[in-house]
Amino acid sequence: MDGNCLNGNGTLVFKDGRKYIGSFANGSYNGRGVLLLTDGRKYEGEWKNDLPNGFGTQTNPDGAVYTGGWLNGKYAGQGTLKTADGGSYTGAWKNDLPHGKGTLTKPDGSKFKGEFRNGKAVGEGVLTTPEGRETKISM
């Protein structure tokens, strides 16, 4: 432990190797900070009551990167998840899943732009081929 890990800024290193560097309030992660996990994940952004809340970026060891809104430790609001293979989803999130309007891009460049519910495309949307041809579809 280094700095003021009760109310202020400091660094907290856990026995299992996790490390938090940032702001504390009442002994909890609150404000801006970085959490480094032993599995290679890294979260940098806003915290409230020891959980990612607000805007932040999580980088995963597989190369996936999420940047956007967080609520109680889960992807929420607007955000973008980019995968190492070139795929991505940009749009609304709820409970770590695409939920609301968004665009899913496959590694081959094809896209679906439309509505998502609990991680699945629903309703009407536009499918775009890698060559740029657009087709309205219903899911």
- pLDDT tens-digit readout, 8-49: 999 999 999 999 999 999 999 999 999 999 999 999 999 999
Per CATH, the architecture of 62-139 is what? Single Sheet (2.20)
List pLDDT tens digits, range 121-137.
Answer: 999 999 999 999 999 99
Looking up tokens 């430790």, which residue turns up? 73
129: which DSSP letter?
A: -
**What is the chain's length?**
139
Please list the residue range(s) of the chain that carry CATH number 2.20.110.10: 62-139
Q: DSSP string spanning 14-76? A: -TTS-EEEEEEETTEEEEEEEEE-TTS-EEEEEEETTEEEEEEEEE-TTS-EEEEEEETTEEE
Phi, psi values for residue 44, rounded to 5°: -130, 120
